[in-house]
Structure 1
Amino acid sequence: MRHAVRGRKLNKTASHRKAMLANLCSSLFEHKKITTTLAKAKETRRFAEKLITFGKKGDLNSLRQVLKFIRSKEVARVLFKEIAPSYNDRNGGYTRVVKIGTRKGDAAEMAVIQLVGYEDFKKETSEKSEEKSED
C-alpha cells in the first residue's frame, strides 16, 4: 500500500530525478513558462511553489535553501528580486498547469506549467485562433 507516499518516481533514479526537477524549476523561473509532460509538470509544481515561498522570505537562510536546490545564482537572483516580490499578496498557488494534449511521437500527455501573472497561456491560444478565423 502507498499510504502517505509523496512524489512520483518518473522512472528515474533518485539523483537523476532530483537533477531533472532542479533543471525544470530553473527553466521555469528563467522563462516563466515551460512545456513538459503532465507528470513532470505536476512534480515540478511542488518544488517551484516551495522555492517561491523561500524567495518571499528573502533572508540569507532562504537564499541558501534555494541555492541548495537549483544551484544557479542568476536564477536565484531572478527568483528573489523579480518573481517572489510579485507574489507578496498571494499565499500559494504561484504556478498553473494547463494540459495541451498528447505528444505526437509517443502519445505522452503534455502540459504547460507557468507562473501565474506572467503571459497567460489561455490568452495566447485564443489570440492564435482569432487570427486564423480573421484570415
Structure 2
Amino acid sequence: MYHRKRGRKFGRENKQRTALMRSLAVALIQKGRISTTLAKAKELRGYVEKLVTRSKNPTVATKRLLATDLDPSSVSKLVKDLGPKFKERSGGYIRIANLGARTSDGAAMAIIQFVD
C-alpha cells in the first residue's frame, strides 16, 4: 500500500528527481520566476524554501551545505540577495499562481516566483 508516503515521484528514479529539483531550484533562484507544471511547482516550493531559510544565516558551514545542492552563482545569489531580503520573514517566500492547462497534453501549469 502507498499510505503515508511523502513527496511526488514524477515517474522518475531517485537521482533523476534530485537532478530535476536542483535544476528547477537553480532556474528559480537565477530568474526569480519560472513556469512549470503545478505538481512540480508544489514540490519545488518546499525544497527552495528550506534553501532560503538556510541562507538567512550565512556562515561558512551553511554556504558549504548550500553548495552541495546548488551551483556557486546560485549560492552567492541566495546568500547575498535572497537571504537578507527575507531576513525578517519566517517562511512563505514563494508564491504559486495557476496558469491553466497546457494545450499539448492538458497538464496543469503554474508560475512559481519569490514574494516581493
Q: Equivalent residue for 1:20?
A: 20
- Corresponding residue number in structure 2 for 1:112: 111
> Which structure is richer in relative contact order (CA contacts within 8 A, separation 6 or more)?
2
Instruction: Tell me the CA shift for residue 84 of structure 1.
Output: 1.1
Instruction: Quote the Cα distance in structure 2 between the aligned partners of 1:2 and 1:115.
Output: 32
Higher-Rg structure is 1
Q: Structure 1 vs Structure 2: percent identity of aligned residues?
A: 36
Match of 2:37 in 1: 37
> Displacement of 1:20 after TM fit?
0.6
Instruction: Count the aligned residue pairs.
Output: 115
Deviations 1:10-30 (A, max 9, x none): 111100100010000000000
Partners in 1 of 2:18 and 2:3 — Cα distance? 21
Give the superposed CA RMSD.
0.8
Deviations 1:51-97 (A, max 9, x none): 00110011111111111112x10111001001110001100000011
Greater per-residue helix proportion: 1
> Partner of 1:120 in structure 2?
none
Runs of 4+ residues deviating >6 angstroms: none
| Structure 2: gaps spanning 5 or more residues | none
The normalised TM-score by structure 1 is 0.83
User: Partners of 2:26 and 2:84 in 1: how far apart?
Assistant: 17
1:11 corresponding residue in structure 2:
11
TM-score (norm 2): 0.96
Structure 1 residue 90 corresponds to structure 2 residue 52: no
User: Which runs of 5 or more residues in structure 1 are unaligned?
Assistant: 118-135
- What residue number does 1:2 align with? 3
Q: Which amino acid aligns with 1:116?
A: V
Residue type of the alignment partner of 1:110: M
CA distance in 2, matches of 1:115, 1:58: 19
Partner of 2:51: 51
Q: How does 1:73-88 map to 2 (within 5 A)?
A: 73-88=72-87
